[in-house]
Amino acid sequence: MHASVGDEVVIGGHRVGMPMRRGEVLEVRGADGSPPYLVKWEESGRATLLFPGPDCLVHHSGEAVTS
C-alpha cells in the first residue's frame, strides 16, 4: 500500500453497526509512501498512527479508489 500526504483513507466497519471511518493522511512515516501513516480522522478531528490492513482503501487525490 502506498499513500501520500493529503490522500484519504477509508476503513470499513469491523463489527455490525460500526460505521466506515475516513481520514486524511497527514504524514507518511514509511519509505516510498508505505505505512505507517499519521491520519486525521474525519469523525473526531484527532490524529493517530495507522498500520493499515487489507480492508483499508486509499483515495489518491484526483485518482480512482485503490487498495
Partner 1 sequence: MRASDFSVRQPVVIDCAATTADAAALMAAQGVGALIVVDHDRPVGIVTDRDIVTRGIARNIAADARVDSLMTTGLIALDSHAELEELMHVFMHHAIRRVPIVDHDRVIGVVSMDDVLVWLANNMIDITNVMAAQIMFPHGNEAPPVPAPL
Q: Is residue 8 a contact residue for partner 1 (CB under 8 A)?
A: no
Q: Is residue 28 a contact residue for partner 1 (CB under 8 A)?
A: no
Q: Which residue in this structure is represented by grid cell 490522500?
A: 7
Q: Which of 49, 37, 47 is nearest to 5 (CA)?
A: 37
What is the distance between the alpha carbons of residues 36 and 30, in angstroms, rounded to a whole number?
A: 6
Q: Is residue 11 a contact residue for partner 1 (CB under 8 A)?
A: yes
Three-state SS at 17: coil
Q: Which of 4, 6, 20, 51 binds partner 1 (CB under 8 A)?
A: 51
In the complex, the residues that contact partner 1 under the rule CB under 8 A are 11, 14-15, 18, 21, 29-30, 35-36, 41, 43-44, 46, 48-56
